[in-house]
Amino acid sequence: MVAYERAAIVGTGTMGPGMGAVLERIGTKTCLYDIDPAALERAKVGVELARGVLDRLDAPQAAGGSIEFSTSLEEAVGQADIVMEAVPENLELKRKVFGELVTLAPDSAVLSSNTSGIPITKIAEGSDAADRIIGMHWSNPPHLIPLIEVVPGEQTSDAVKDQLIDFVHSFGYEAVTEREVPGFVENRILYAVLREVVELVERGIISHADMDTCVKWGIGYKLAVIGPLELIDMAGLDIYNSVGSYLNRDLSTASEVSSLITDRVAEGRLGIKTLGGIYDYNADDIKVLGAKRAAKLIAVRKALAQFDADQGGE
């Protein structure tokens, strides 16, 4: 198994603290970098929360891991074996950051991006280190969802790709390898579902609360255990062919975002962060809701992992 002794996460944001806690747990010395000292202070809180979740998951722990915080990019990446860029989703910003990483990080370092959909080839365009640049997209929250999309660019070397896959497997996460496509695979599937969900609610076919119940206990419950292509096999390709022959024509093909969303954005209703989006919230609700959701995700992951351990997988 590939083991990187030192890692750097560039940009703390939403996912950096969880990513750092996972790496620390497997024995990697990790430095979280952000240009904003206030962001690093928030990241310290996020790391502690993620550590607590990993304890509750009984995640394996190796000696030697640590987390440091820095506002110096040179200090953060200067000795890194792998760098994980996690700055905002802006192509020019990412290109600028990778230009600095090529200069400051060791020539042997793997340079990965946590972009959720910008093609890696575009990020690496014009770089002298394009063979070392690769997509490493964690799912959010990264300390809870054990999946990473590995997305090579056109010039990424096979050696870097294989090393990264091996590294992901070393800490018990699933690595799925994909060719470049806007949004990558996970987000494309998610947004296809969300487009249909939003349209049905907007048309008054179902309430927003009943929609969430329908998806959680109908589709979601099954898909945690049975993949979508496995589900087609289970139901029968003849059934899928029959239903798809009439239903596909009626599914949403909207290329614009629904007014159910755009109207609320215009009103400043952005979701939990503004105490109102599709639903209304208050500060106390958010704390309780976050704790309940984390507890449920922990319980599901532990149950599935224990079942696989007892049964030797599917």
What confidence tens digit (pLDDT) does each residue in 108-136 have? 999 999 999 899 999 999 999 999 999 99
DSSP state of 312: T
66-70 β-sheet, strand order: 66-70, 29-33, 6-10, 82-85, 110-113, 133-138, 147-152, 174-177
Sign of CA dihedral 140, 143, 149, 154: positive
Which pLDDT value is given to residue 83?
98
Half-sphere exposure of 183 (CA within 13 A, CB side): 8
Which pLDDT value is given to residue 101?
98
Contact between residue 66 and residue 103 where contact means Cβ atoms under 8 Å apart: no
Neighbouring CB atoms inside 10 A of 160's CB total: 20
Residue ranges and CATH numbers for the domains of the chain are 6-182 (3.40.50.720), 185-281 (1.10.1040.10)
Which pLDDT value is given to residue 62?
93
Which pLDDT value is given to residue 1?
55
Burial of 200-220, coded b for 16+ CB within 10 Å and e otherwise, reads ebbeeeeeeeebbeeeeeeee
What confidence tens digit (pLDDT) does each residue in 290-307 have? 889 999 999 999 999 889
pLDDT tens string for the chain (314 positions)? 567 999 999 999 999 999 999 999 999 999 999 999 999 999 999 999 999 999 999 999 999 999 999 999 999 999 999 999 999 999 999 999 999 999 999 999 999 999 998 999 999 999 999 999 999 999 999 999 999 999 999 999 999 999 999 999 999 999 999 999 999 999 999 999 999 999 999 999 999 999 999 999 999 999 999 999 999 999 999 999 999 999 999 999 999 999 999 999 999 999 999 999 999 999 888 989 988 999 999 999 999 988 988 887 66
Which of 219, 206, 212 lies closest to 279, judged by CA?
212
Tokens read off for 232? 């087609």
Which pLDDT value is given to residue 227?
96
